[in-house]
Amino acid sequence: MNLPWITTANTRYLTRLWLLSAASVLSACQPQLPETVRSGLVYCSEGSPESFNPQLVTSGTTIDAISQQLYDRLLDIAPGSGELLPGLALSWQVSDDGLVYQFTLRPDVQFHHTEYFTPSRPLSADDVVFTFNRIMLTEHPFHAQGGANYPFFQSVDWAGLVKSVTAPSRTQVRFTLSRPDSSFLSNLATDFAAILSAEYGQQLQASGNLSRLDSHPIGTGPFRFREYQKDVLIRYYRHRHYWRELAKPEQLVFDIVPNNARRMAKLFTHECDVVAFPRVAELSLISQRPDVDVQESTSMNVGFWAFNTAKAPFNNVKVRQALALAINREAILQAVYFGHATAANSVLPPTSWAYNPNLSAQQFDPIRARQLLTEAGYADGFSMDIWAMPVQRLYNPNALKMAELMQADLAQIGVRASIVSYEWNSFRRKLGANEHDSVLIGWSADNADPDNFFRPLLSCSAAQTGTNRANWCDENFDRFIAQALLTADQKQRRSYYMAAQQYLSEQMPLLPIAHSQRFQAINSTIKGIQINPYGGIALANATKDIK
């Protein structure tokens, strides 16, 4: 049946109309770079932050997003040498007995002006006292906010170490310690020791909104907080009265994209300027593109396999040694890290000054492993669980795959391993309760001090707070690391740490697997981003080189 009065001419006209309208929409799609895009920076991160206060968290995702952008610390760490530099503190003196640290604060450091807070005064000693008292004084109005949980400070036994924090004058802060601790300054330079505003705290107390201190942050850092939409984005603007050189980007947005493939796609379409944690397997593909650069740096981290030493048979040192001997780490380095990591002999990376170069490299020797098992009374092997963390971390990009490789290795010596994994939050909770047999996990350093690898990971106090994944409490080991803290002499400290490492490799509460490199994929027009080996990324100096 024909509709004769719609002529072909008409049809042609209509078709042309559609083509025209389609073309006009597409013409808007030509790449052009408006002002907003040129002056802003988009960092695509792998997850939402848990809080906006670094005191309350340890997760790398959160620290990357908040620490270096919103806050300053009393001291900073030089990324290259690991040396301590003045931050908010201009200078500091240590008493001869190593118990009193006095800091002189930098004058005229301004806090952020935002819609929810206008500071009336610059940084003073009160702010520093307010910040650290929150962690240690139970009567502090904000102490119980967020469950009174300060994981980093608890792991270094802050409350036991620091007797008091006082302000002798507006520009002076005095920390009095109960015992000398040579890692104290390094701990003050970590991303967790951010300085908050006491004045903002008072304002919140007056209005009864205590929880806003951790959700609507006020700091002195290069950017100020603007908005946060959970699982969508975080928006910061430049802090106009920053005491250092002003941040280069006018606006900084953390676009939250948990999916790896999607994050890469956004890099390729230039929706992201910087992409966190590109998959190691895709690095060669990424580096082929002319518009994308891959940055690499050795990072202070270690991936390890920790045994729950409080459980049988892992309480037997021979069993732990046998399991360590059974693992073919060379294969793991190739298959899991794609060669972008070095085999670990100690928990401490070789770049640390306290690294023990005399440790013998961990062998792969299934025959010797079998012998050890027989000696330990497990000639027929046993069954165990390997917990593999469900998320990708720098120190372990693919724990499940690693667990599968290890499963095959262990079968050689008659150990039947099953792989267990949970959603990340439940996983960590169950680990904290020590429900595991063994776990594949790791650690990234927060500062350059070697203590950061020992105390939060393997000390008795860490076993109590649930961050000691080996659930290992050994008096000898604790004595080594405690003695190392009592002296400020680096040579002497080093000898204690060497001994501690030697002791660890004999006791084998955990098998260090690899120190991996940190990667970052960035749009090649972006300059000025340095990967910090000791924690969060700093984005204040990033510039876009676009005409």
Partner 1 sequence: MILYLLRRLVLLAFVFIALSILAFSLGYLFPGEPWQNFSGLRSASSEQLAQLTTLYRLDQGYIAQYLAYLTRIFSGDWGLSFASQQPLLQEMLTLLPATLELAAYALFISFFIGIPIGIIAAVKPDGVLSKLISAIAVTGYSIPVFWWALLLIMLFSLGLGWLPTAGRIGVLYEVNHVTGFMLLDILLSDSHHQQEALINALRHLLLPTLVLATFPTTVMIRFTRDSMLDVWEQSYIKTARAKGLNRGQVLYRHGLRNALLPVIRQIGLQFSTLITLAMITEVIFSWPGIGRWLIDSIYQRNYPAIQAGLLVISTLVISVNMLTEILHTLFNPLARKR
Considering the complex, what minimum distance in angstroms separates the CB of residue 118 from partner 1? 21
CB-based contact 177:98 (threshold 8 Å): yes
Nearer CB in complex with partner 1: 170/262: 262
Task: Work out the burial of residue 463: count CB atoms within 10 Å of its CB; fewer than 13 is exposed, 13-18 middle, 19 or more buried.
Answer: buried
Nearer CB in complex with partner 1: 88/256: 256
Q: Taking CB under 8 A as the rule, does residue 20 contact partner 1?
A: no
Nearer CB in complex with partner 1: 43/103: 43
Nearer CB in complex with partner 1: 271/293: 271
Q: Taking CB under 8 A as the rule, does residue 521 contact partner 1?
A: no
User: For residue 275, which amino acid is it?
Assistant: V
Q: Taking CB under 8 A as the rule, does residue 232 contact partner 1?
A: yes
Nearer CB in complex with partner 1: 30/120: 30
Considering the complex, what minimum distance in angstroms separates the CB of residue 423 from partner 1? 10
Tell me how many residues contact partner 1 (CB under 8 A).
Answer: 39
Identify which of 347, 355, 427, 346 has the alpha carbon closest to the alpha carbon of residue 385.
Answer: 427
Considering the complex, what minimum distance in angstroms separates the CB of residue 45 from partner 1? 12
Q: Taking CB under 8 A as the rule, does residue 425 contact partner 1?
A: no
CA distance 371 to 359: 23
Distances (CA, A) of 465 to 149, 157, 299, 399: 10, 10, 26, 24
- Could you give the angle at the alpha carbon of 409 between the alpha carbons of 406 and 410, nearest 5°? 85
142-168 burial code (b ≥16 CB/10 A, e <16): beebbeeebbbbbbbbbeebbeebebe
Nearer CB in complex with partner 1: 11/334: 11
Residue of 94, 148, 233, 376 that binds partner 1 (CB under 8 A): 233
Q: Taking CB under 8 A as the rule, does residue 2 contact partner 1?
A: yes
Q: Taking CB under 8 A as the rule, does residue 9 contact partner 1?
A: no
Q: Taking CB under 8 A as the rule, does residue 208 contact partner 1?
A: no
CA distance 52 to 294: 29
CB-based contact 505:359 (threshold 8 Å): yes
Q: What is the DSSP string of 416-476?
A: EEEEE---HHHHHHHHHTT--SEEEEEEE-SSS-THHHHHHHHSHHHHHHT--TT----HH
Nearer CB in complex with partner 1: 35/506: 35
CA distance 421 to 389: 6
Q: Taking CB under 8 A as the rule, does residue 148 contact partner 1?
A: no
Residue of 9, 20, 23, 34 that binds partner 1 (CB under 8 A): 34
Considering the complex, what minimum distance in angstroms separates the CB of residue 154 from partner 1? 23
CA distance 218 to 53: 9
Residue of 9, 18, 491, 506 that binds partner 1 (CB under 8 A): 18
Residue of 14, 19, 90, 310 that binds partner 1 (CB under 8 A): 14
| DSSP state letter for 534 | T
Considering the complex, what minimum distance in angstroms separates the CB of residue 253 from partner 1? 4
Considering the complex, what minimum distance in angstroms separates the CB of residue 94 from partner 1? 45
Considering the complex, what minimum distance in angstroms separates the CB of residue 64 from partner 1? 17
Q: Taking CB under 8 A as the rule, does residue 448 contact partner 1?
A: no
Nearer CB in complex with partner 1: 233/331: 233
Residues paired with residue 388 on neighbouring β-strands, in sequence order: 440
Helix (H, G, I), strand (E, B) or coil at 261: helix
Nearer CB in complex with partner 1: 56/344: 56
Residues paired with residue 519 on neighbouring β-strands, in sequence order: 296
CA distance 146 to 16: 63
Query: What angle do helix axes 475-486 and 451-458 make, rounded to 10 degrees?
Result: 150
Considering the complex, what minimum distance in angstroms separates the CB of residue 3 from partner 1? 4
Considering the complex, what minimum distance in angstroms separates the CB of residue 289 from partner 1? 11
Q: Taking CB under 8 A as the rule, does residue 120 contact partner 1?
A: no
In this structure, the dihedral spanned by the alpha carbons of residues 302, 308, 335 and 424, taken in order and rounded to 10 degrees, is -80
Q: Taking CB under 8 A as the rule, does residue 210 contact partner 1?
A: no
Residue 46 has phi, psi (to 5 degrees) of -95, -5
User: Which residues in 253-292 contact partner 1 (CB under 8 A)?
Assistant: 253, 255, 257, 262, 265-266, 268-271
Residue of 9, 20, 30, 360 that binds partner 1 (CB under 8 A): 30
Residues forming the site for partner 1 (CB under 8 A): 1-6, 11, 14, 18, 25-26, 28-31, 34-37, 40, 42, 226-227, 230-233, 235, 251, 253, 255, 257, 262, 265-266, 268-271
